[in-house]
Amino acid sequence: MVGQFAYGKSRQQRAISLFVSSSREGNNDTGSGDDLAVPNSVRDPGIWRDFVVSSDGVDVNGPFQQVDGYTPGVDYPIYDSVPFGLTFTCGGKLPGYYADPEARCQVWHWCLPNGRQFSFLCPNGTVFSQSARVCDWWFKVDCNDSPRLYGINDDLYRDVNGNKI
């Protein structure tokens, strides 16, 4: 039963148990945490620990604490809104999706065919991957390489055979 835990476990054990049991396919787990089979994606450098909340709704580690030697705001950006005054423009660019290295790629821009621009913020702990055009964990993205990959937006305007549409 998700949310039902054995007494005597720490809040963190209960929180991790809740996360794992609620994310399993079939969800036959009792939630005890005794049979934790944590997927590798959860183990990536401890990033989930920033976002785990215990079953009683209490933040286990506090917001944005240092995790596995990485410091939020230093090693990766933690904006809470799109910063004002970014210099990115859609002028001269294909319509598409663009990481903004000026905001350490936590911000991405959507350029429309008419040149209009909309800017978005990836959730904290993630940045925009220009190669995949999605927000991904900050440690998986080379933000400085993003401008070199802007040309991939060209594939948005090609059919399955590679012909321009």
The full set of domain ranges for the chain reads: 71-160
94-151 pLDDT tens trace: 999 999 999 999 999 999 999 999 999 999 999 999 999 999 999 999 999 999 999 9
Dist CA 107 CA 122 (whole Å): 6
23-77 pLDDT tens trace: 444 444 444 444 444 444 444 444 444 444 444 444 444 444 555 678 899 989 9
